[in-house]
Amino acid sequence: MQKIFLKLPIILLLLLLSNELMSQSMDTLRVMTYNLLNYRNNTITGCSNTNNNPTTKEGGLNTIISHVLPDILVCNEIGTSDPAASFRISQNALNQNGRNYYQFTTMQKGQRQIINGSSTGNMIYWDSRKLELYDNDFIEFDPFNRALVRVIDHYTLYYKDPNLSVHADTTFLHIFIAHLKAGNTTSDQNERDWATNAVMAYLDSNNIDGNILLGGDLNLYRSNENAYQNMLNYSLSSLRFYDPINVPGSWTNNSPYAIVHTQSTRTTGGCGATGGLDDRFDFILASDEIMNGTDSVQYISGSYEAVGQDGQHFNAAVSSGTNNSAPTAVIQALEAVSDHLPVIMDLEIRLPATTSIKKVKQHSNYIFNNPIEDFLSVSFKDDKQVRTVQLIDMSGRILLEKQAENKGRIKLDCSDFKRGVYFLKVVENHNTYSIQKLIKI
Protein backbone atom coordinates (compact mmCIF):
# COMPACT_ATOMS: atom_id res chain seq x y z
CA MET A 1 0.00 0.00 0.00
CA GLN A 2 1.28 3.44 -0.82
CA LYS A 3 1.99 5.51 2.27
CA ILE A 4 -0.02 8.74 2.37
CA PHE A 5 1.01 11.74 4.41
CA LEU A 6 -1.67 12.67 6.92
CA LYS A 7 -1.87 16.22 8.25
CA LEU A 8 -2.83 15.63 11.86
CA PRO A 9 -3.76 18.67 13.89
CA ILE A 10 -0.38 20.04 14.95
CA ILE A 11 -1.63 20.86 18.44
CA LEU A 12 -2.60 17.22 19.02
CA LEU A 13 0.85 15.95 18.04
CA LEU A 14 2.58 18.60 20.13
CA LEU A 15 0.49 17.70 23.15
CA LEU A 16 1.24 14.01 22.73
CA LEU A 17 4.95 14.61 22.29
CA SER A 18 5.24 17.14 25.09
CA ASN A 19 3.41 14.80 27.46
CA GLU A 20 5.90 12.08 26.52
CA LEU A 21 8.86 14.34 27.24
CA MET A 22 7.47 15.80 30.47
CA SER A 23 6.83 12.36 31.92
CA GLN A 24 10.37 11.04 31.55
CA SER A 25 12.74 10.10 34.39
CA MET A 26 16.41 9.17 34.10
CA ASP A 27 18.82 6.42 35.03
CA THR A 28 22.34 5.55 33.89
CA LEU A 29 24.10 2.38 32.77
CA ARG A 30 27.86 1.81 32.64
CA VAL A 31 29.13 -0.58 29.98
CA MET A 32 32.59 -2.15 30.19
CA THR A 33 34.52 -4.43 27.83
CA TYR A 34 37.58 -6.35 29.01
CA ASN A 35 39.89 -8.97 27.51
CA LEU A 36 40.83 -11.13 30.52
CA LEU A 37 43.96 -12.65 28.94
CA ASN A 38 43.43 -16.40 28.94
CA TYR A 39 41.50 -16.53 32.17
CA ARG A 40 41.67 -20.15 33.41
CA ASN A 41 43.39 -21.14 30.19
CA ASN A 42 47.09 -21.97 30.24
CA THR A 43 47.19 -23.83 26.95
CA ILE A 44 48.83 -20.80 25.32
CA THR A 45 52.62 -20.85 25.08
CA GLY A 46 54.17 -18.79 27.86
CA CYS A 47 51.14 -18.87 30.18
CA SER A 48 51.29 -20.95 33.34
CA ASN A 49 49.62 -21.19 36.71
CA THR A 50 52.51 -19.10 38.04
CA ASN A 51 52.32 -16.08 35.72
CA ASN A 52 48.61 -16.45 34.91
CA ASN A 53 47.20 -17.56 38.24
CA PRO A 54 43.37 -17.51 38.23
CA THR A 55 43.07 -16.66 41.92
CA THR A 56 45.35 -13.65 41.48
CA LYS A 57 43.35 -12.56 38.43
CA GLU A 58 40.04 -12.89 40.30
CA GLY A 59 41.34 -10.77 43.18
CA GLY A 60 42.58 -8.10 40.79
CA LEU A 61 39.34 -8.13 38.81
CA ASN A 62 37.41 -7.72 42.05
CA THR A 63 39.46 -4.56 42.76
CA ILE A 64 38.76 -3.21 39.26
CA ILE A 65 35.03 -4.01 39.42
CA SER A 66 34.77 -2.32 42.83
CA HIS A 67 36.27 0.81 41.28
CA VAL A 68 34.32 0.85 37.99
CA LEU A 69 31.01 -0.79 39.04
CA PRO A 70 29.80 -1.61 35.52
CA ASP A 71 26.16 -2.48 34.89
CA ILE A 72 27.12 -4.49 31.80
CA LEU A 73 30.45 -6.30 31.51
CA VAL A 74 31.48 -8.07 28.31
CA CYS A 75 34.58 -10.24 28.41
CA ASN A 76 36.92 -11.94 25.96
CA GLU A 77 39.33 -14.84 26.54
CA ILE A 78 37.54 -16.88 29.17
CA GLY A 79 38.85 -20.44 29.18
CA THR A 80 36.52 -23.03 27.67
CA SER A 81 38.22 -26.10 29.17
CA ASP A 82 36.92 -25.19 32.64
CA PRO A 83 33.09 -25.35 32.49
CA ALA A 84 32.87 -23.32 35.68
CA ALA A 85 35.13 -20.47 34.49
CA SER A 86 32.31 -17.98 33.88
CA PHE A 87 30.77 -18.88 37.23
CA ARG A 88 34.08 -18.36 39.03
CA ILE A 89 34.35 -14.82 37.65
CA SER A 90 30.84 -14.15 38.90
CA GLN A 91 31.42 -15.56 42.37
CA ASN A 92 35.05 -14.63 43.01
CA ALA A 93 35.30 -11.23 41.36
CA LEU A 94 31.93 -9.66 40.58
CA ASN A 95 29.67 -10.78 43.41
CA GLN A 96 32.04 -9.73 46.17
CA ASN A 97 32.29 -6.83 48.64
CA GLY A 98 28.54 -6.80 49.26
CA ARG A 99 27.59 -7.23 45.60
CA ASN A 100 25.26 -10.14 44.86
CA TYR A 101 23.43 -8.96 41.78
CA TYR A 102 25.60 -9.85 38.77
CA GLN A 103 24.19 -12.55 36.52
CA PHE A 104 25.52 -14.31 33.42
CA THR A 105 24.39 -16.90 30.91
CA THR A 106 25.72 -19.90 28.99
CA MET A 107 28.82 -19.41 26.87
CA GLN A 108 28.01 -19.67 23.15
CA LYS A 109 30.17 -21.79 20.85
CA GLY A 110 30.11 -22.36 17.10
CA GLN A 111 30.78 -25.60 15.29
CA ARG A 112 34.19 -24.48 14.04
CA GLN A 113 35.23 -23.57 17.58
CA ILE A 114 34.00 -26.91 18.90
CA ILE A 115 35.74 -28.90 16.16
CA ASN A 116 38.99 -26.95 16.54
CA GLY A 117 38.83 -27.05 20.32
CA SER A 118 38.93 -23.27 20.72
CA SER A 119 40.44 -22.53 24.13
CA THR A 120 38.64 -19.26 24.94
CA GLY A 121 35.22 -17.67 24.54
CA ASN A 122 33.18 -14.57 25.35
CA MET A 123 30.77 -13.82 28.18
CA ILE A 124 28.36 -11.12 29.30
CA TYR A 125 27.51 -10.16 32.90
CA TRP A 126 24.81 -7.71 33.92
CA ASP A 127 23.40 -6.00 36.99
CA SER A 128 20.17 -7.94 37.57
CA ARG A 129 18.71 -5.06 39.60
CA LYS A 130 18.54 -3.01 36.40
CA LEU A 131 18.62 -5.44 33.50
CA GLU A 132 17.31 -8.80 32.34
CA LEU A 133 18.30 -11.07 29.49
CA TYR A 134 15.65 -11.15 26.75
CA ASP A 135 17.32 -13.25 24.05
CA ASN A 136 20.68 -14.49 22.83
CA ASP A 137 22.18 -15.66 19.54
CA PHE A 138 25.56 -15.79 17.82
CA ILE A 139 27.10 -15.26 14.40
CA GLU A 140 29.26 -18.10 13.13
CA PHE A 141 29.55 -17.50 9.37
CA ASP A 142 30.03 -14.51 7.12
CA PRO A 143 27.69 -13.74 4.15
CA PHE A 144 29.75 -16.10 1.94
CA ASN A 145 29.40 -18.95 4.44
CA ARG A 146 33.00 -18.69 5.60
CA ALA A 147 33.37 -19.74 9.24
CA LEU A 148 34.58 -16.98 11.55
CA VAL A 149 37.67 -17.52 13.69
CA ARG A 150 35.47 -16.94 16.76
CA VAL A 151 31.73 -16.54 17.10
CA ILE A 152 30.35 -13.04 17.62
CA ASP A 153 27.78 -13.09 20.40
CA HIS A 154 24.48 -11.21 20.28
CA TYR A 155 22.67 -10.63 23.57
CA THR A 156 19.47 -8.63 23.95
CA LEU A 157 18.88 -7.09 27.36
CA TYR A 158 15.99 -4.99 28.53
CA TYR A 159 15.85 -2.39 31.27
CA LYS A 160 13.82 -3.49 34.30
CA ASP A 161 11.68 -0.40 34.58
CA PRO A 162 9.53 -0.84 37.73
CA ASN A 163 6.59 0.73 35.87
CA LEU A 164 6.92 -1.39 32.75
CA SER A 165 3.58 -3.11 33.34
CA VAL A 166 1.88 0.29 33.35
CA HIS A 167 3.25 1.97 30.24
CA ALA A 168 4.60 -1.11 28.37
CA ASP A 169 7.40 0.92 26.79
CA THR A 170 10.23 -1.61 26.92
CA THR A 171 13.80 -0.33 26.51
CA PHE A 172 15.94 -2.92 24.71
CA LEU A 173 19.73 -3.04 24.33
CA HIS A 174 21.44 -5.21 21.72
CA ILE A 175 24.96 -6.14 22.82
CA PHE A 176 27.40 -7.71 20.36
CA ILE A 177 30.64 -9.19 21.72
CA ALA A 178 33.50 -9.66 19.29
CA HIS A 179 37.05 -10.95 19.58
CA LEU A 180 38.44 -10.54 16.09
CA LYS A 181 41.46 -12.23 14.58
CA ALA A 182 44.80 -11.01 15.96
CA GLY A 183 47.77 -10.12 13.80
CA ASN A 184 48.69 -7.62 11.11
CA THR A 185 49.13 -9.83 8.05
CA THR A 186 46.84 -9.55 5.03
CA SER A 187 45.25 -12.85 6.01
CA ASP A 188 44.53 -11.55 9.53
CA GLN A 189 42.98 -8.37 8.15
CA ASN A 190 40.82 -10.42 5.78
CA GLU A 191 39.52 -12.48 8.69
CA ARG A 192 38.54 -9.31 10.54
CA ASP A 193 36.96 -7.93 7.37
CA TRP A 194 34.78 -11.05 7.00
CA ALA A 195 33.78 -10.95 10.66
CA THR A 196 32.50 -7.36 10.66
CA ASN A 197 30.79 -7.94 7.31
CA ALA A 198 29.02 -10.80 9.04
CA VAL A 199 27.82 -8.48 11.82
CA MET A 200 26.40 -5.92 9.40
CA ALA A 201 24.72 -8.58 7.26
CA TYR A 202 23.21 -10.09 10.40
CA LEU A 203 21.78 -6.73 11.49
CA ASP A 204 20.39 -6.14 8.02
CA SER A 205 18.85 -9.58 7.46
CA ASN A 206 17.31 -9.74 10.93
CA ASN A 207 15.92 -6.16 10.82
CA ILE A 208 17.76 -5.26 14.01
CA ASP A 209 17.94 -1.58 14.81
CA GLY A 210 17.60 0.71 17.81
CA ASN A 211 20.01 0.66 20.73
CA ILE A 212 23.00 -1.41 19.61
CA LEU A 213 26.50 -1.70 21.06
CA LEU A 214 29.45 -3.72 19.79
CA GLY A 215 32.32 -4.25 22.22
CA GLY A 216 35.42 -6.34 22.56
CA ASP A 217 38.99 -6.89 21.46
CA LEU A 218 38.80 -5.99 17.76
CA ASN A 219 42.57 -6.16 17.16
CA LEU A 220 42.43 -3.16 14.80
CA TYR A 221 45.63 -1.30 13.95
CA ARG A 222 44.24 1.66 12.04
CA SER A 223 40.92 3.23 11.13
CA ASN A 224 41.22 2.66 7.39
CA GLU A 225 41.17 -1.10 7.88
CA ASN A 226 38.20 -2.73 6.12
CA ALA A 227 36.91 -4.29 9.33
CA TYR A 228 36.48 -0.85 10.91
CA GLN A 229 35.08 0.79 7.79
CA ASN A 230 32.54 -2.01 7.30
CA MET A 231 30.86 -0.95 10.53
CA LEU A 232 31.18 2.83 10.32
CA ASN A 233 30.34 3.20 6.62
CA TYR A 234 27.91 0.38 5.94
CA SER A 235 25.83 0.88 2.78
CA LEU A 236 22.62 1.22 4.81
CA SER A 237 23.28 4.35 6.85
CA SER A 238 20.63 3.59 9.47
CA LEU A 239 22.60 0.51 10.57
CA ARG A 240 26.03 2.12 10.84
CA PHE A 241 28.05 2.07 14.04
CA TYR A 242 29.74 5.14 15.47
CA ASP A 243 32.99 5.45 17.40
CA PRO A 244 32.07 7.57 20.44
CA ILE A 245 35.48 9.26 20.66
CA ASN A 246 35.90 9.65 16.88
CA VAL A 247 39.69 9.50 16.63
CA PRO A 248 40.51 8.04 13.19
CA GLY A 249 44.10 7.39 12.30
CA SER A 250 46.96 4.91 12.52
CA TRP A 251 46.71 4.05 16.20
CA THR A 252 49.44 1.43 16.62
CA ASN A 253 52.83 2.53 17.94
CA ASN A 254 51.87 6.16 17.39
CA SER A 255 52.35 8.43 20.41
CA PRO A 256 49.68 11.06 19.48
CA TYR A 257 47.10 8.34 20.14
CA ALA A 258 48.53 7.33 23.52
CA ILE A 259 45.34 8.32 25.37
CA VAL A 260 43.32 5.66 23.50
CA HIS A 261 45.82 2.79 23.67
CA THR A 262 44.59 -0.31 25.51
CA GLN A 263 47.41 -2.84 24.99
CA SER A 264 49.88 -3.76 26.45
CA THR A 265 49.76 -2.98 30.16
CA ARG A 266 53.21 -4.54 30.70
CA THR A 267 56.80 -4.37 29.53
CA THR A 268 57.83 -7.76 30.90
CA GLY A 269 56.17 -11.07 31.68
CA GLY A 270 55.78 -14.46 30.09
CA CYS A 271 52.00 -14.49 29.55
CA GLY A 272 50.45 -11.97 27.20
CA ALA A 273 51.84 -9.09 25.16
CA THR A 274 54.68 -6.95 26.48
CA GLY A 275 56.35 -3.75 25.33
CA GLY A 276 54.05 -1.22 26.97
CA LEU A 277 50.88 0.55 25.87
CA ASP A 278 50.93 1.20 22.12
CA ASP A 279 47.81 -0.39 20.53
CA ARG A 280 44.14 0.53 20.44
CA PHE A 281 42.66 -2.96 20.25
CA ASP A 282 39.62 -2.63 22.55
CA PHE A 283 36.46 -0.80 21.49
CA ILE A 284 32.84 -0.06 22.26
CA LEU A 285 30.95 1.12 19.17
CA ALA A 286 27.37 2.43 19.26
CA SER A 287 24.42 2.83 16.92
CA ASP A 288 23.07 6.17 15.75
CA GLU A 289 20.10 5.78 18.11
CA ILE A 290 22.43 5.62 21.11
CA MET A 291 24.67 8.44 19.94
CA ASN A 292 21.70 10.75 19.33
CA GLY A 293 19.32 9.45 22.02
CA THR A 294 16.41 8.77 19.67
CA ASP A 295 15.30 5.50 21.31
CA SER A 296 15.32 6.15 25.10
CA VAL A 297 19.08 5.50 25.45
CA GLN A 298 21.86 8.05 24.88
CA TYR A 299 25.64 8.02 25.16
CA ILE A 300 26.83 10.42 27.86
CA SER A 301 29.37 12.62 26.12
CA GLY A 302 32.89 12.38 27.52
CA SER A 303 32.26 9.14 29.42
CA TYR A 304 34.20 6.86 27.03
CA GLU A 305 37.65 5.96 28.37
CA ALA A 306 40.24 3.24 28.80
CA VAL A 307 40.43 2.66 32.55
CA GLY A 308 43.94 3.42 33.84
CA GLN A 309 45.02 5.24 30.68
CA ASP A 310 46.34 8.73 31.42
CA GLY A 311 47.98 9.30 28.04
CA GLN A 312 51.43 9.40 29.68
CA HIS A 313 52.43 5.74 29.35
CA PHE A 314 53.25 5.29 25.69
CA ASN A 315 55.43 2.15 25.35
CA ALA A 316 55.43 1.88 29.14
CA ALA A 317 53.76 -0.32 31.73
CA VAL A 318 50.54 1.12 33.09
CA SER A 319 52.05 1.22 36.61
CA SER A 320 55.34 2.82 35.55
CA GLY A 321 56.12 6.01 37.43
CA THR A 322 53.08 8.10 38.28
CA ASN A 323 49.57 7.23 37.10
CA ASN A 324 46.87 9.22 38.85
CA SER A 325 44.03 8.15 36.55
CA ALA A 326 42.89 5.59 39.16
CA PRO A 327 43.82 4.53 42.71
CA THR A 328 47.17 2.75 43.02
CA ALA A 329 45.56 -0.58 43.89
CA VAL A 330 43.46 -0.38 40.71
CA ILE A 331 46.48 0.48 38.54
CA GLN A 332 48.38 -2.48 39.98
CA ALA A 333 45.39 -4.76 39.39
CA LEU A 334 45.11 -3.58 35.78
CA GLU A 335 48.69 -4.65 35.16
CA ALA A 336 48.28 -7.99 36.95
CA VAL A 337 44.94 -9.17 35.49
CA SER A 338 45.50 -8.72 31.75
CA ASP A 339 47.65 -7.29 28.99
CA HIS A 340 44.62 -5.17 27.98
CA LEU A 341 42.93 -2.21 29.66
CA PRO A 342 39.15 -2.28 30.03
CA VAL A 343 37.12 0.30 28.12
CA ILE A 344 34.01 1.90 29.60
CA MET A 345 31.22 4.22 28.49
CA ASP A 346 28.08 5.52 30.22
CA LEU A 347 24.53 5.58 28.88
CA GLU A 348 21.54 7.62 29.97
CA ILE A 349 18.20 5.79 30.11
CA ARG A 350 15.04 7.89 29.81
CA LEU A 351 11.93 6.36 31.34
CA PRO A 352 8.30 7.46 31.68
CA ALA A 353 7.39 8.51 35.21
CA THR A 354 4.43 7.06 37.08
CA THR A 355 2.77 10.42 37.71
CA SER A 356 1.70 10.95 34.12
CA ILE A 357 1.27 7.43 32.81
CA LYS A 358 -2.13 6.14 31.76
CA LYS A 359 -2.78 2.56 30.78
CA VAL A 360 -4.72 3.15 27.57
CA LYS A 361 -6.26 -0.07 26.34
CA GLN A 362 -9.98 0.56 26.01
CA HIS A 363 -12.09 3.20 24.30
CA SER A 364 -15.86 3.61 24.68
CA ASN A 365 -16.49 1.90 21.34
CA TYR A 366 -13.46 -0.37 20.82
CA ILE A 367 -10.79 -2.44 22.54
CA PHE A 368 -7.23 -3.04 21.25
CA ASN A 369 -4.04 -4.75 22.37
CA ASN A 370 -1.25 -2.50 23.65
CA PRO A 371 1.68 -3.06 23.46
CA ILE A 372 1.72 -4.76 20.07
CA GLU A 373 4.21 -7.36 18.87
CA ASP A 374 3.33 -8.81 15.46
CA PHE A 375 -0.36 -7.87 15.15
CA LEU A 376 -2.68 -5.08 16.21
CA SER A 377 -6.19 -6.35 16.87
CA VAL A 378 -9.06 -3.85 17.28
CA SER A 379 -12.47 -5.13 18.38
CA PHE A 380 -15.60 -2.96 18.16
CA LYS A 381 -18.71 -2.82 20.29
CA ASP A 382 -20.63 -1.26 17.42
CA ASP A 383 -18.63 -1.48 14.20
CA LYS A 384 -21.52 -0.02 12.18
CA GLN A 385 -20.35 3.35 13.45
CA VAL A 386 -16.72 2.79 12.39
CA ARG A 387 -15.45 3.61 8.92
CA THR A 388 -11.67 2.99 8.93
CA VAL A 389 -8.78 2.10 11.21
CA GLN A 390 -5.35 3.62 10.59
CA LEU A 391 -1.88 2.99 12.01
CA ILE A 392 0.17 6.20 11.99
CA ASP A 393 3.84 6.88 12.74
CA MET A 394 5.31 9.78 14.70
CA SER A 395 5.62 11.94 11.58
CA GLY A 396 1.92 11.62 10.81
CA ARG A 397 2.19 9.13 7.93
CA ILE A 398 -0.45 6.44 7.47
CA LEU A 399 1.40 3.13 7.53
CA LEU A 400 -1.65 0.87 7.41
CA GLU A 401 -5.34 1.56 6.73
CA LYS A 402 -8.27 -0.84 6.70
CA GLN A 403 -12.03 -0.52 6.29
CA ALA A 404 -14.19 -1.76 9.17
CA GLU A 405 -16.56 -3.79 6.92
CA ASN A 406 -18.94 -4.58 9.82
CA LYS A 407 -17.01 -7.68 10.91
CA GLY A 408 -16.57 -6.74 14.56
CA ARG A 409 -12.77 -6.87 14.47
CA ILE A 410 -9.84 -5.61 12.42
CA LYS A 411 -6.41 -7.22 12.50
CA LEU A 412 -3.32 -5.39 11.19
CA ASP A 413 0.04 -7.07 10.54
CA CYS A 414 2.73 -4.93 12.22
CA SER A 415 5.52 -7.51 12.26
CA ASP A 416 7.74 -5.56 9.85
CA PHE A 417 7.61 -2.31 11.82
CA LYS A 418 10.38 -1.12 14.11
CA ARG A 419 9.98 -0.99 17.87
CA GLY A 420 8.74 2.38 19.07
CA VAL A 421 5.74 4.67 19.41
CA TYR A 422 2.83 4.70 16.92
CA PHE A 423 -0.75 5.96 16.92
CA LEU A 424 -4.06 4.18 16.35
CA LYS A 425 -6.67 6.36 14.64
CA VAL A 426 -10.25 5.13 14.49
CA VAL A 427 -12.45 7.16 12.09
CA GLU A 428 -16.22 6.96 12.62
CA ASN A 429 -18.96 7.40 10.03
CA HIS A 430 -19.95 10.84 11.21
CA ASN A 431 -16.39 12.07 10.60
CA THR A 432 -15.29 12.12 14.22
CA TYR A 433 -12.22 10.16 15.24
CA SER A 434 -10.09 9.20 18.22
CA ILE A 435 -6.32 8.72 18.47
CA GLN A 436 -4.56 6.45 20.94
CA LYS A 437 -0.84 5.92 21.48
CA LEU A 438 0.58 2.43 20.73
CA ILE A 439 3.87 0.81 21.73
CA LYS A 440 5.47 -1.66 19.32
CA ILE A 441 7.83 -4.07 21.12
The DSSP code sequence of 179-234 is: EPPP-SSHHHHHHHHHHHHHHHHHHHHTT--SSEEEEEE----BTTSHHHHHHHS-
C-beta neighbour count of 97 within 10 angstroms:
11
3-state secondary structure of 105: coil
d(CA 368, CA 386): 14
Rounded to a whole number, what is the largest CA-CA distance in the chain? 83
- Better-predicted residue by pLDDT, 126 or 395: 126
Q: How confident is the model at residue 418 (pLDDT cuts 50, 70, 90)?
A: confident
Per domain, the residue ranges of the chain are 4-21+357-440, 24-352
Say which CATH topology domain 4-21+357-440 has: Immunoglobulin-like (2.60.40)
Q: Provide the CATH topology of domain 24-352.
A: Deoxyribonuclease I; Chain A (3.60.10)
Residue 209: closest CA among 289, 131, 134: 289
Band (pLDDT 50/70/90 cuts) for residue 432 is: confident
In terms of Cα–Cα distance, which of 371, 373, 379, 378 is closest to 414? 373
Side-chain-side CA neighbours of 99 within 13 Å: the count stands at 25
pLDDT for 121-174, tens place per residue?
999 999 999 999 999 999 999 999 999 999 999 999 999 987 765 655 688 999
pLDDT of res. 22:
44
Can you tell me the distance from the alpha carbon of 362 to that of 380, in angstroms, rounded to the nearest whole number? 10
Which one, of 262, 191, 202, 269, lies nearest residue 234 by Cα?
202
Give bridge partners of residue 198 from the DSSP assignment.
none
Mean pLDDT, residues 14-24 taken together: 48
Asked if domains 4-21+357-440 and 24-352 share a fold, the reply is: no
On the question of pLDDT at 364 being above 70, the answer is no
Give me the percent of the chain exceeding a pLDDT of 70: 86
